[in-house]
Chain A
Amino acid sequence: EPEVTQTPSHQVTQMGQEVILRCVPISNHLYFYWYRQILGQKVEFLVSFYNNEISEKSEIFDDQFSVERPDGSNFTLKIRSTKLEDSAMYFCASTTGANNSPLHFGNGTRLTVT
């Protein structure tokens, strides 16, 4: 069964540094998402991406965040200047876009900001 892949699985960075989290969505999916989950808390929506542009974003997704689809397969999340509170598990997900199509999540990148 095709799956969403994310790299790296764990990223440690210092406060103020830039990080790029990478994802390869399922190949025939059209909608891509980033969610995050702070330890012990709920899964929170960050941004969705369709047809090479952001289609929705949450209040969390401020100017420090950006997304890009640099080629036909990769989908990246960049955090420009990391803060301690950015420490979380970041999940990439994709769907076909059909109403009943569930989110297919990658295994996540655990980001630790020190």
Chain B
Amino acid sequence: GQNIDQPTEMTATEGAIVQINCTYQTSGFNGLFWYQQHAGEAPTFLSYNVLDGLEEKGRFSSFLSRSKGYSYLLLKELQMKDSASYLCAVKTGGSYIPTFGRGTSLIVHP
């Protein structure tokens, strides 16, 4: 089976940095994606990790440790528009189907 865990909700202050964690236990591993989803909208792609380490893309970075089954999404210089759900999705070995976690609802306040 597969298990993907994320915190349900986080709050942070505008301008701050927030780290959203994702842990997974899957049968094999073939890549991890982070998506952003605003309420009532479709998920949109943020980042992809398949090798250990940090991937940086503007204000957003994503880190992966395959041996620990762990990833995080780092959001810097938070803006009000960053209030959304952040979804961790894992592709398991032998499959190209991403399986989603429950998502972390991030609330950014002034």
Contact = CB atoms under 8 A, between A and B. Distances in A.
Q: Do A and B come from one complex?
A: yes
Interface of A: 31, 33, 35, 41-45, 48, 56, 91, 95, 97, 99-100, 102-108
Contact of B100 (A44, A95, A97, A107): A44
Given A91-B43, A99-B30, A102-B35, 20 more contacts: A33-B97, A41-B102, A42-B87, A42-B102, A43-B87, A45-B98, A45-B100, A48-B97, A95-B96, A99-B96, A102-B33, A102-B45, A103-B33, A103-B43, A103-B45, A105-B42, A105-B43, A106-B42, A107-B41, A108-B41
B84 interface: no
Interface string B74-110: 0000000000000101010001111111110000000
A103 B43 CA distance: 9
Contact of B50 (A31, A42, A44, A99): A99
B51 to A, nearest CB: 11
Contacts of A103: 33, 35, 43, 45, 89, 98
Contacts of A44: 100
Contacts, number: 55
21 contacts: A33-B97, A42-B87, A42-B103, A43-B37, A43-B87, A44-B100, A45-B97, A45-B100, A48-B97, A91-B42, A95-B96, A99-B30, A99-B50, A99-B91, A102-B33, A102-B35, A103-B35, A103-B43, A104-B45, A108-B41, A108-B42
